[in-house]
Amino acid sequence: MSQVFSEETHRNMLARIPHCTGREISDWLRTVEEGPALFRFEEKVSWLRHEHNLAYGHAKAIVHEYDLRRAARKLL
């Protein structure tokens, strides 16, 4: 089972991603959106890790943020 991060840890991880990867969060979210139609969280994380050579924590934070934003769009 995957490790669950607190909201604070998630925000701190997101803040570090641009420095570590050279790409903004918005770029990564667009990459997930335009990527393969994977349904499971861990499949998306694995795809980001292998296709874009991301660390597990970074990939997980990006997919989690993508899912949060997608859910928020559905509520509007």
**Every domain of the chain and the residues it spans:** 1-73
pLDDT of the residue at 3: 58
pLDDT for 1: 39
**Residue 2 gets which letter from DSSP?**
P
Measuring CA to CA, which residue among 32, 22, 24, 20 is closest to residue 68? Answer: 32
Question: What does the pLDDT read at residue 5?
Answer: 73
What is the mean pLDDT for each group of 10 consecutive residues in the chain (76 residues)?
74 95 97 96 97 96 94 79
Residue of 19, 30, 6 lying closest to 55 (CA atoms): 19
CA–CA separation, 18 vs 24, rounded Å?
5
pLDDT of residue 75: 72
The pLDDT assigned to 12 comes to 94
pLDDT value for 73: 84
Compute CA distances 2 → 28, 35, 57, whole Å.
21, 22, 10
- The conformational region for residue 43 under phi > 0 = left, psi -120 to 50 = alpha, else beta, is alpha
